[in-house]
Amino acid sequence: MIARRMGKLDSSGIRKVFDLAREMENPVNLSIGQPHFDIPPEIKAAAIDSINQGLNHYTVTQGIPELREAVMAQVFPKGPPPGQGILITSGTSGGLLLAFLALIDPGDEVLIPDPYFVMYKHLVNLCDGKPVFVNTYPDFRLTAERIEPCITPKTKVLITNSPANPTGAVWTETEVDEIIDLTQRHDLLLISDEIYSVYTYDGPPVTAAGRCDRLLLLNGFSKSHAMTGWRLGFAIGPEEIIREMTKLQQFSFVCAPSFAQHAAIEALNLDTSNYVDEYRWKRDMIWDGLQDKYELQRPEGAFYAFPKVPCGTGQEFVAEAIKNNLLVIPGEVFSERDTHFRIAYAADNETIEQGIEILNAMV
């Protein structure tokens, strides 16, 4: 009765931990990958105003013009390159699904840096594509040198994520330029997932936007403005690709939530630097607290750290952490290896301090 394609998907390991958290009494929870602050009041007020004004019906599939224009102006302050289209999506995850369905034929190979955001592999499998993993251990740097040996005649897409979930790695200007040069030489489409772009701690954000023609940029409002439940993102790329994604959205999501689209115009005008400063502080807490006892790359962005387990597997380590009332995510959820675990430091400082104490005591 169930379609065969569903056998290619497994329940998210993250969701399993979330379910476990509900069964535990006051766990020290460093597993949740969403901001710990509430949606800023200005955005909530704008959403309430739009609801009260009756702006609650379907919008055009591609998103309201005011929001599309505002997003393009922010991404391309000097104006977009020719031939660029934009689609307002139901979250960045919705944009990923539309992109993969529009682009991947059975047997097409998609290059995915390992470790990776959990959704990439499963969506490629759902589309009957073939995930090909680019090993970035132990420093989690995605470089053209590491990518090129993985390219074959069947390679169609390279997906990148900077700042990265689960490692917190942020690409440099040199790395992104060399990666774009590589994709152009091999006629690949680059999908750049930049959902964590505001959370860059050691320098200005580095974006792929405007650097090449064969680029699909994905971003959204879930992480930057804590609008996770409002499901609002955007995709910018070649008009041909955006047109096909819009067609798919018409027959699936229909449109992104209307009230959230109107509120997002206010979000684009909001200064979020205070949140970035707060998470930089939390990053430093994790780094200073764990670097002496764990093999850990210093996170440069997002709100994750990806330490190596001191012994055994990631799953075994996480099982032991749970016995100590600590929730973290095993690395095998995000990787073809099971040697690390993910910490999400999007939590209050007291929770982070408790987590550091438990982790150090476990070594």
Report pLDDT digits (tens) over 312-334.
999 999 999 999 999 999 999 99
What pLDDT was estimated at residue 16? 66
- The domains located in the chain, with CATH, are 4-39+272-362 (3.90.1150.10), 41-268 (3.40.640.10)
What pLDDT was estimated at residue 12? 58
Residue 192, beta-bridge partner list:
160, 217
Residues 133-173 have pLDDT tens digits of 999 999 999 999 999 999 999 999 999 999 999 999 999 99
Q: Is the pLDDT of residue 102 over 70?
A: yes
What pLDDT was estimated at residue 324? 94
Q: Using CA atoms, how far apart are residues 161 and 191, in angstroms rounded to an integer?
A: 9
Residues 273-299 have pLDDT tens digits of 999 999 999 999 999 999 999 999 999
Q: Is the pLDDT of residue 20 over 70?
A: no
Radius of gyration of the chain (CA): 20
Residues with Cβ within 8 Å of 215's Cβ and at least 6 positions away in sequence, in order, are 180, 189, 190, 191, 192, 208, 209, 237, 238
Q: What's this model's pTM, rounded to 2 decimal places?
A: 0.95
What pLDDT was estimated at residue 136? 98
Q: Is the pLDDT of residue 99 over 70?
A: yes
What pLDDT was estimated at residue 13? 58
Q: Is the pLDDT of residue 59 over 70?
A: yes
Residue 132, beta-bridge partner list:
111
Q: Is the pLDDT of residue 182 over 70?
A: yes
Q: Is the pLDDT of residue 11 over 90?
A: no
Confidence band of 24 (pLDDT split at 50, 70, 90): confident
Q: Is the pLDDT of residue 121 over 90?
A: yes
What pLDDT was estimated at residue 18? 62
What pLDDT was estimated at residue 19? 67
- Mean pLDDT for 74-98 is 96
Q: Is the pLDDT of residue 15 over 80?
A: no
Q: Is the pLDDT of residue 82 over 80?
A: yes
Sheet with 329-330: strands ordered across: 304-305, 341-344, 329-330
Residue 235, beta-bridge partner list:
87, 218
Q: Percent of the chain having pLDDT more than 90?
A: 92
Q: Is the pLDDT of residue 305 over 70?
A: yes
Residues 351-361 have pLDDT tens digits of 999 999 999 99
Q: Is the pLDDT of residue 109 over 70?
A: yes
